[in-house]
Amino acid sequence: MANSQARTARRTHLFTESVIREMTRVAGEHDAINLAQGFPDFSAPELLKEAACAAIRADINQYAITWGTVNLRQALAEKYAERYGMEVNTEQEMTVTCGATEAMAAVMLSIIEPGDEVIILEPFYENYGPDAVLSDATPVFLTLEAPAYRLEKDHLEAVITNRTRAIVVNTPNNPTGRVFDREELQMIADLCLQYDILAITDEIYEHIYYEGEHHVLATFDGMRDRTIIISGLSKTFSVTGWRIGTIIAPPDLTDAIRKVHDFLTVGAPAPLQEACAVGIRELGQSYYDGLKIDYRERRDVFLSALRDSGFKFSTPEGAYYVLADFSALSSEDDTTFSKMLAKDGGVAPVPGSSFFSVPERGRSVVRFAFCKTIKTLEAAGERLREFASARHS
Ligand code: GLN
């Protein structure tokens, strides 16, 4: 057999397959409860599903406009105006993509020259590293320390160089659950302005937080022209399989982003874009309020089981993940522990090393996703308590 390294591009040797999706397969093999990959196991809103069926029946089944249907872009513009006080030009500043994942790749491919540095705060969502590699960027990692995961100005300033092109800011954060406060975001804004850096914000969890507020960096003084907002409907409407992501960026950047997006995917699914437009317009504030209440309950049920089982963690302020230290339960490394917990404990997490540039930093932590029904979380909690008590007896 040919040597696959010789037949494949070097850039593909620089990252591995997604560990998050690998753990979903491990969960399947052992019939474990999958708290690895962050997708809900409950239904999407009825109104949204009806709107998707109606769009398909109305024969909205061909390509949408490459950068997004008129309806969805208008609904989004209304939302940004009402909620964040931002005027967004739907013709020049908006692109709809196949999920936030494509959005991040398209953005990096559009703004980065080979060798440019991109600051990534770690622990990070696992896509950012490979996205940087695919766009020939040099990722520069800045570790935020547990338990506070707070961003300090002198630490950020220390990693800025004259090659720094952009910083990726994910709030509410996957995997830490941090929601950056106004002070931290102001500090990022100040440094972006001082050193002429672009901010790429990943705001996919913008409606899921328990403490504080979600601040949009683009609304800070001077930042509108240097911020690219990535978000989407996957998490807000519990439709991770629909692949509807969104980008808001200044017109010159949007031009480049739209071209890359066009040749990557042509466009996101047309009928599902129509359904999301209906969802954004009809569901509104009471839906977002309900989402937070439901997620808080899920979080609290799961965290109490985690605490009882001997894990140590910082309480997530937003998003739907918790990074948990398992040193009281095992001295194995994170990957061994995750597979053991899936096989013997019946609950699958993600090994912590997936969220760090240096695997050692995540050696004694795992990430659990709690975007599941209370019933699933109670069953997982029961299994964790049993696993822990068997290890202590
Ligand atoms: N964002 C989700 C997570 O972190 C799903 C990742 C994925 O599989 N695209 O688990």
Residue nearest to atom 1 of ligand 1 (CA): 38
**pLDDT of 392:** 75
CA angle 195, 197, 198 (to 5 degrees): 160
Ligand 1, closest atom to CA 24? 8
**pLDDT of 2:** 59
Say yes or no to pLDDT of 1 above 60. no
Quick: pLDDT tens for 261-320: 999 999 999 999 999 999 999 998 999 999 999 999 999 999 999 999 999 999 999 999
Ligand 1, closest atom to CA 175? 4
Is the peptide bond between 316 and the residue preceding it cis, with omega within 30 degrees of 0?
Answer: no
Ligand 1 mean position, distance from CA 38 (Å): 5
**pLDDT of 211:** 87
Quick: pLDDT tens for 32-88: 999 999 999 999 999 999 999 999 999 999 999 999 999 999 999 999 999 999 999
Say yes or no to pLDDT of 393 above 60. yes
Give Cβ neighbours of residue 110 (< 8 Å, ≥ 6 apart). Answer: 253, 256, 257, 259, 260
CATH 3.40.640.10 region(s) of the chain?
60-283
Q: Homologous superfamily of 4-44+285-392 in CATH?
A: Aspartate Aminotransferase, domain 1 (3.90.1150.10)
**pLDDT of 5:** 76
Say yes or no to pLDDT of 4 above 80. no
Ligand 1 mean position, distance from CA 158 (Å): 30
* Percentage of the chain exceeding pLDDT 90: 95
CA angle 53, 95, 202 (to 5 degrees): 100
**pLDDT of 372:** 98
Quick: pLDDT tens for 344-388: 999 999 999 999 999 999 999 999 999 999 999 999 999 999 999
Ligand 1 mean position, distance from CA 130 (Å): 14
Tell me which fold the domain 60-283 belongs to: Aspartate Aminotransferase; domain 2 (3.40.640)
Q: Which residue has the higher pLDDT, 235 or 16?
A: 235
Ligand 1, closest atom to CA 369? 10
CATH 3.90.1150.10 region(s) of the chain?
4-44+285-392
**pLDDT of 353:** 96
